[in-house]
Structure formats: C-alpha cells, structure tokens
Amino acid sequence: MIARFSGDRRNAQLISIPRDSWVDIPGYGKNKINASYAFGGPTLLIQTVEQLTQVRIDHYVAIDFDGIIQVTDDLGGVDVYVAETTSNGPYTFPAGVNRLNGDQARWYLGQRYGLPGGDFDRVRRQQQYLRSMFGKLFSSDTFTNPGRLDAALLAVTSAVSIDDSLGNGDLLALAYSMRNVTPENVDYFTAPVAGTGMEGPASVVYLDNVTADRMWAYLRTDSLSQNADEFERQQLPAQPR
C-alpha cells in the first residue's frame, strides 16, 4: 500500500497495489511486484514503486502477521463487516459484524482462496480492517489526546518495522499532525487494473497504466482527494446498528 497524507493534514489516501501486478523491477525486468521484496528487500520494493508511480516514497513501514495479532489485541479487538459467511483455518466468520481478536484477524486478513474475488477480496478486507482500526482510534479521541496517542503508537511501533529516518519522536509528531483527519476524510483505492492473465506458469495482474498514470499524477500533486470520484474507491456495505 501507498499511504499519502495531504500537505494540509486534512486528507489521506491509501492505495493498494495488487501483489501480483506485472511491473518492471529495476535490474530484474518484468515480474510480479511482490518479487521486488524477495529480490532486494525494502530498498528494491521502494525503487520499484517509485519507478511505477513516479511518486517519492519518504518512509517505509512493514508489518507481519505476528504484528497484526499484537496490534489487534492491544486495541481490544477490531470490528469488521463480513458480507458472506466464510471460513479460513480454525475460524468461521459469519455474515455481519465480527469483532476479531488478534489470531482471528490474522486468518481473516490472510485468506485468499475461497473468496469470490481472490486476492482482490483480500485487498478489500485489508482496507476495511484499516478503516475499522482507524475508526476505533478516532472514536476514542486517541489522536487528540497526547497520552493515548503515545500509548497507541507504542503498541504499533513495537509490532512494525520502520525505516531508520523515522524515529519515535518523528512518528509521534506526524501522527499528532493528523489529528484533524477524520475517518470520512481517508479514501481507500486500488491501483486501476486492466485484467488478469498468465506470464509463463504465473498468474498475474495487468495494471491499467493509462488510468493509473492519472491517479499517480494526482497523488504527486496532492490532489487525489479532490479528484477521487474519477476512480473506484472501496465502498463498504452498510453495517447494521
């Protein structure tokens, strides 16, 4: 995902790039975008994303499933809305609102097979989870209460890997600067897709480069939020009350 915070700190966008996207990887030619991490770790992944989007990546954050478990449990669970009953691993997620603990979140977010849209549905689940997590943080006034914000960031930073140029103090200042961003002002996108196909034995995703180039241009000029309606955004089903 690319996360972008607007210069006035009132809007944010998260754009998912499907892991099977067929792209140019510097020094390696065409391959799936997730192969860049396998070939050269965060450095090559960043170079690949910057080459694809012409968007400068300032910082890098990585979280694995152990981190997902920890963050979810530290937050006291995260609510997600499941459109249709599905099962993965030891858990069944019934249709409707589910409060996930850490281990449940790990299986829910990791599911790829058995979903109608495959990896695209997994992308939607990940975005929905983040939306729900942010909503919980905002509803508890975490971003306006320095003490709560510090505690929340401690929980998050202990579960993620962050680039060396972003210290804890910098992260706290960045998070506090986002205190006026409400969940309604965070838009979630997926990089425009032209279709799927095969490259040798591998199933891949082809990006719609014409539409994507327009999205990246808006991102570079800090204007994607003003032009969001040009692109498909994740729309969550209404949750029953």
Contact 123, 103 (CB under 8 A): no
Q: Which of 75-79, 119-123, 204-208 has the highest mean pLDDT?
A: 204-208
pLDDT band for position 238 (50/70/90)?
very low
Grouping H, G, I as helix, E, B as strand and the rest as coil, residue 179 is coil
* 60 vs 179, higher pLDDT: 60
Quick check: pTM over 0.85? no
Contact 130, 106 (CB under 8 A): no
What pLDDT does 233 receive? 61
What order of strands is seen across the sheet that includes strand 12-16?
2-5, 12-16, 186-190
Q: What are the boundaries of each domain within the chain?
A: 1-60+163-234, 63-162
Mean pLDDT of 147-159: 71
1-60+163-234 and 63-162, same CATH topology: no
What pLDDT does 241 receive? 34
> Could you say which of 2.30.29.30, 1.10.10.10, 3.30.420.590, 3.90.25.10 is the CATH number of the domain covering 1-60+163-234?
3.30.420.590
Mean pLDDT of 160-164: 79
**Assigned CATH for 63-162:** 3.40.630.190
Grouping H, G, I as helix, E, B as strand and the rest as coil, residue 59 is coil
What pLDDT does 37 receive? 95
Phi, psi dihedral angles at 215 (to 5 degrees): -60, -45
Contact 224, 215 (CB under 8 A): yes
pLDDT in tens, 51-78: 999 999 999 988 888 888 888 888 889 9
